[in-house]
Amino acid sequence: MDERAALTLLEGELEAAGDDAAVVDGLVLTTDMLHERTDFPPGTTRYTAGWRAVGASLSDVAAMGAEATAAVAAYAAPEFDPDELLAFVGGARDVCERVDAEYVGGDLDNHDEFTVSTTAVGRADDPVRRSGARPGDRVVVTGTLGRSAAALELFERGARADGSEADDIDEETLERANELFRFEPRVAAGRVLEPHATAMMDSSDGLARSLHQLAEASDCGFAVEAERIPVADALLDVADGEDVLERALTFGEDFELVATVPDAALEATRDATDVELSVIGSVTEPAAGITVDGDRLADRGYTH
């Protein structure tokens, strides 16, 4: 059973499950777990790991249209290297500051693999769920897609997975990869979208999978135009041809917001956001399914 199947199982047991975060009396809560083998490629700095791990939880808060308040992290490693620990906290603190939240600590433990569990909290008077999309709404995406796909390519180019010596590592390439891995959680954009969006989630599992999850929750379909999908310049630098669209659609881990907005609110929403908001298609009736340029879009993406 993969993560998605497990979540489906738990949704039948937990009433609050199913969105990017749980909501309790206006308090938005979310938690994530990241592992070195699956989430931090060789060459990922501890600063980047702290930023990315905490940022992933802040992105869930953003996807609910909530104001981010604070975050904590449980840090586990085979040993506590002082420089690595301080770098991790530095990254966690800086990503919180980027969205006007506060990193307030956490827990430490020994573990045979570097592992991080993060929790973020926020507040929202009227959180945006995944279940409100209506036929005729427009589908929008913040920022660009493919940053993380490009970063992984650069990590693979910059360092060998077998633990190469320093003189075998391309430091400049790794620095660029780490920079791409440090995404900005779209909390500000989520706050702008909150009064207008009918459904919203983040793109951590990829655009294709996000559309399928929104369609399932909202009982709708989507018609997307490939040329409107915002592709990151960094991905264009490392991939070409059909591979670009494939990675933009399915790689995931970009933590952009995917939302549906009534056409009447679109212009005001785009004018108020501090990041590019691309219209990539429209919400359709459920019988129409999910398509890109008229072709069926498979439910593929990041699976834990």
42 forms beta bridges with none
In tens, the pLDDT along 23-33 reads: 999 999 999 99
CB-facing half-sphere around the CA of 52: CA atoms within 13 A: 27
**CATH number for the 3-123 domain, one of 1.25.40.10, 1.10.533.10, 3.90.1010.10, 3.30.1330.10?**
3.30.1330.10
Residue 138 has pLDDT above 90, yes or no: yes
Lowest mean pLDDT among 11-20, 42-51, 73-82, 120-129: 11-20
Can you list the alpha helix ranges (DSSP code H) found in 145-186?
Answer: 147-158, 171-181
Q: At what angle do helices 242-250 and 207-218 cross, to 10 degrees?
A: 50
The answer to the question of whether 228 is labelled as a binding residue is no
The answer to the question of whether 107 is labelled as a binding residue is yes
Confidence band of 211 (pLDDT split at 50, 70, 90): very high
pLDDT at 158: 84
In tens, the pLDDT along 121-134 reads: 999 999 999 999 99
Report residue 116 as tokens: 């991080």
250 forms beta bridges with none
Q: Please, where in the chain does CATH 3.90.650.10 lie?
A: 138-296
**CATH number for the 138-296 domain, one of 3.30.420.40, 3.90.650.10, 3.90.1170.40, 3.30.300.30?**
3.90.650.10
The answer to the question of whether 94 is labelled as a binding residue is no
The answer to the question of whether 30 is labelled as a binding residue is yes
Q: Please, where in the chain does CATH 3.30.1330.10 lie?
A: 3-123
- Rounded to whole angstroms, the Cα distance separating 219 from 285 reads 8
pLDDT at 161: 47
The answer to the question of whether 25 is labelled as a binding residue is no
The answer to the question of whether 167 is labelled as a binding residue is no
Confidence band of 162 (pLDDT split at 50, 70, 90): very low
117 forms beta bridges with 33, 74
**How confident is the model over 221-250, as a mean pLDDT?**
96
Contacts of 219 (CB under 8 A, 6+ apart): 286
The answer to the question of whether 106 is labelled as a binding residue is yes
Dihedral Cα 46, 31, 95, 114, nearest 10 deg? 0
Q: Percentage of the chain with pLDDT > 70?
A: 92
Lowest mean pLDDT among 152-166, 203-217, 228-242: 152-166
Return the closest-CA partner of residue 156 out of 171, 174, 172, 176: 174
The answer to the question of whether 204 is labelled as a binding residue is yes
The answer to the question of whether 26 is labelled as a binding residue is no
The answer to the question of whether 130 is labelled as a binding residue is yes
Residue 87 has pLDDT above 90, yes or no: yes
- Rounded to whole angstroms, the Cα distance separating 146 from 150 reads 6
Residue 212 has pLDDT above 50, yes or no: yes
Contacts of 148 (CB under 8 A, 6+ apart): 180, 181, 183, 251, 252, 253, 254
- Rounded to whole angstroms, the Cα distance separating 56 from 33 reads 9
- Rounded to whole angstroms, the Cα distance separating 245 from 242 reads 6
Q: Percentage of the chain with pLDDT > 90?
A: 87
**How confident is the model over 187-192, as a mean pLDDT?**
98
